[in-house]
């Protein structure tokens, strides 16, 4: 799996921090929280999608697809958060929390499994 450049890695980490901060800030300041969360989800997802795996290992390819699904779930959560904040569309409740939770579970699972599989493949 190719590595990110130092600049891309900084964007990746700051995007992850902004995801967490945006979700917390959304409670007292909905518009500011939405803005921070949306920017963080785009930064995090974009940098994650720039990482490529060129090998043929089925398990690693499956984990990468799950990782992409988790990043997409964060972006969907940002859209649902926007619908909730501005009371537009079908998602006027806290559906964004469900999408964010799905993204968190997928990202956590792949973050734990992917390094072990890459190490196994290296040997």
At 76-104, the pLDDT tens digits run: 999 999 999 999 988 888 899 999 999 99
111 φ, ψ (degrees, to nearest 5): -65, -30
Provide the pLDDT for residue 34. 96
Q: Nearest CA to 63 among 5, 4, 121, 123?
A: 121
Provide the pLDDT for residue 122. 85
Provide the pLDDT for residue 80. 95
Provide the pLDDT for residue 98. 96
pTM of the model: 0.92
Residue with tokens 């398990």: 59
Query: Please, is 75 exposed, middle or buried when counting C-beta atoms within 10 Å of its C-beta (0-12, 13-18, 19+)?
Result: middle
At 10-60, the pLDDT tens digits run: 999 999 999 999 999 999 999 999 999 999 999 999 999 999 888 899 999
């Amino acid at each position: 799996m190719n590595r990110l450049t130092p600049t891309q890695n900084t964007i990746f980490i700051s995007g992850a921090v902004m995801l967490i901060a945006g979700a917390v800030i959304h409670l007292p300041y909905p518009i500011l929280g939405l803005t921070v969360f949306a920017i963080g989800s785009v930064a995090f997802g974009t940098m994650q999608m720039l990482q490529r795996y060129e090998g043929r290992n089925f398990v690693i390819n499956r984990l990468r697809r799950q990782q992409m699904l988790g990043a997409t779930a964060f972006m969907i959560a940002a859209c649902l958060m926007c619908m909730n904040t501005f009371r537009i569309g079908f998602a006027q409740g806290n559906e964004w929390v469900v999408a964010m939770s799905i993204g968190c579970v997928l990202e956590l699972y792949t973050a734990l499994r992917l390094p072990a599989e890459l190490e196994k493949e290296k040997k």
